[in-house]
């Protein structure tokens, strides 16, 4: 009987080793699939995030435009134009002869 038990134990250990090997292979497959899914999901999330950001910026621009508020670019352009006009005005003032007030009183 002891030989029978030893034989059954050896057979059970072989089956256990085979099951363990199959389980490790399956686990590796699942880990690889999980990593692929994670990479794909991260790419999709990044793409969707970029699209949402672009749409939000577009919406913000439309709201600002509808409200009549100047954008930073428009303010910079106006400042450049004001500086140019100020320089021209200063040049005209410097060229204008100084006139004495009339003493008609």
Secondary structure of residue 16 in the 3-state scheme: helix
Q: Supply the mean pLDDT for the chain.
A: 89
15 CA to centre of own chain = 52
In 3D, which of 57, 36, 54 has the Cα closest to residue 46?
54
Share of the chain above pLDDT 90, in %: 63
Two structure tokens written together for 22: 């199959």
For the segment 22-72, what is each residue's pLDDT rounded down to a tens digit?
Answer: 999 999 999 999 999 999 999 999 999 999 999 999 998 888 888 888 888
Look up residue 58 and give its DSSP letter: H
Backbone angles phi, psi at 26, to 5 degrees: -65, -40
- This prediction has a pTM of 0.45
């Amino acid at each position: 009987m002891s030989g029978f038990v030893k034989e059954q134990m050896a057979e059970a250990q072989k089956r256990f080793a085979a099951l363990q090997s199959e389980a490790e292979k399956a686990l590796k497959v699942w880990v690889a699939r999980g990593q692929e899914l994670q990479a794909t999901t991260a790419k999709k999330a990044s793409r969707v995030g970029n699209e949402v950001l672009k749409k939000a910026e577009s919406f913000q621009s439309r709201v600002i435009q509808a409200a009549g508020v100047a954008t930073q670019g428009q303010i910079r352009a106006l400042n450049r134009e004001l500086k140019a006009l100020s320089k021209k005005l200063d040049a005209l003032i410097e060229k204008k002869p100084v006139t004495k007030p009339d003493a008609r009183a």
